[in-house]
Amino acid sequence: MSTHPGYRVQDPATDQVVETFDALQDAEIDPVLARAAEAQRAWAARPIEERGEVVRKVADLFAERKDELARIIAEEMGKRVAEGVEEAEFCEAIFGYFAEKGPALAADRPIETFSGGRAMIRHLPLGVLLGIMPWNFPYYQIARFAAPNLMLGNAIVLKHAEICPRSAQAVQRIMDDAGVPEGVYTNVFATHEQIATIIADPRVQGVSLTGSERAGAVVGALAGQHLKKAVLELGGSDPYIVLDTDDVAEAARTAWATRMYNMGQACNSNKRMIVSADLHDAFVAELVSLAQAMRPGESASEDETVYTPLSSRAAAEALAEQVARAREQGATVHVGGELTDDAGAYFSPTVITGVTAEMDAYREELFGPVAVVYRADSAEEALALANDSQYGLGGAVFSRDQELAEGVARRLEVGMANVNTPAGEGAEIPFGGVKRSGFGRELGPLGMDEFVNKQLYFVHD
């Protein structure tokens, strides 16, 4: 397995390192944090509407530069160019939403008091925040964290994934060009050791991480040790329950398109498809025919039967190992599960059935183009299977009987439950999970409720 430590662009189609970047020097940490702390105080002192004008410009620049932004991540982590454009457009929507709604969301909230006087909750910034972001949505992940916190008057130090240095720099340019003051948003190519130093620093008031459970456990422990507020958005193995349908082939096509988005590298992808026994075989047959029709190709292709590489050769090898282990333990791999060459990160789309509770694949997250289908004899059995997971990010329930679907969806142990759609999505829709999928919420009204001092302000009569 090839390993290239450090910040670099490593083309996932070939595994070739295209460009390397210097990591932050230890001596640079203090000046970065000193600048951030000073800039944050000045930024927080400006009226929120003024901050909103700057955040609105950030939104506009994401829209203006979407084609260039998409090309950058196609080379960094293999994302289909059309999906990269969509991602940049979503960032425009997120920054735009918080620019517009932020002043109302952060407004003073009067509360009832029984002892005379006036009581209210104020929403004040915490200070300097550290963001640790993953490679799977290099822009969107930053937007979810940065947009509400810039509106609140926090300052951001941003550490991106080691394979996303160009997209990290592109976002820094957007912030600078939009008029975000120097020090209010700072991209750093920090090492893991430096991250620990930054979290420990008293000038840093909080840390937000999107990533693996393992990374979340490390960062959560550091945050706890130093008494810092943390938001963790970790892995998922979302259930996708199909109780009944008028058109089983169409239901399978929707499930497949959802699973293949970003080559299956989404935290809230439908990793466990739980299908009624009477539909199961026809559903699986349709998935298999869809998988068989797919061929490796270029990120620039608009053809839905073309699949692009995973983020890295290492990721593809790890997924191949998980699929091989499922097969060894007795699951049926109907199609796919193969690395298509000796170097790149192309991994053939896969359909698996027959996974049981004794197998590793039952518990693990499969981060890639793998559809795992379970058979359920009843809605109750489907629900029990859905909730038998250490994860609790999202989930979806489909049925012609909406009341039945809603009854099942309401009992899902997840942060985001959806009825008759793979996922409710939008700048206004909160995102986050429970159990080992982490804690805290991003986006929507809850996105401005995390890194904030909800100060009680009481005036005696």
Give residue 434's identity as a one-letter amino acid code: V
**Between the CA of residue 435 and those of 167, 207, 264, 441, what are the distances in Å?**
31, 19, 21, 13
Cα–Cα nearest to 232, from 4, 450, 1:
450
Cα–Cα nearest to 408, from 242, 236, 252:
242
Q: Are strands 438-439 and 452-459 parallel, antiparallel or unpaired?
A: unpaired
Distance CA 207, CA 199 (A): 7
- Is residue 375 within 8 Å of residue 278, measured between CB atoms? no
Distance CA 59, CA 51 (A): 13
User: Which tokens in the block code for residue 212?
Assistant: 């693996």
- Is residue 15 within 8 Å of residue 345, measured between CB atoms? yes
Partners of residue 252 on adjacent β-strands: none
Distance CA 261, CA 271 (A): 12
Contacts of 15 (CB under 8 A, 6+ apart): 2, 312, 313, 343, 344, 345
Cα dihedral 290, 291, 292, 295 sign: positive
Cα–Cα nearest to 106, from 148, 155, 54:
148
Distance CA 128, CA 132 (A): 13
Helix (H, G, I), strand (E, B) or coil at 32: helix
Cα–Cα nearest to 146, from 135, 136, 157, 162:
157
Distance CA 201, CA 197 (A): 6
Residues belonging to the active site = 233, 267
User: Which tokens in the block code for residue 67?
Assistant: 């084609």
Q: Are strands 239-242 and 306-307 parallel, antiparallel or unpaired?
A: unpaired
Residue/partner pairs of 222-225 with CB below 8 Å, 24 or more apart: 222/196, 223/199
Q: How many CA atoms lie within 13 A of 297 on its CB side?
A: 13
Distance CA 342, CA 356 (A): 31
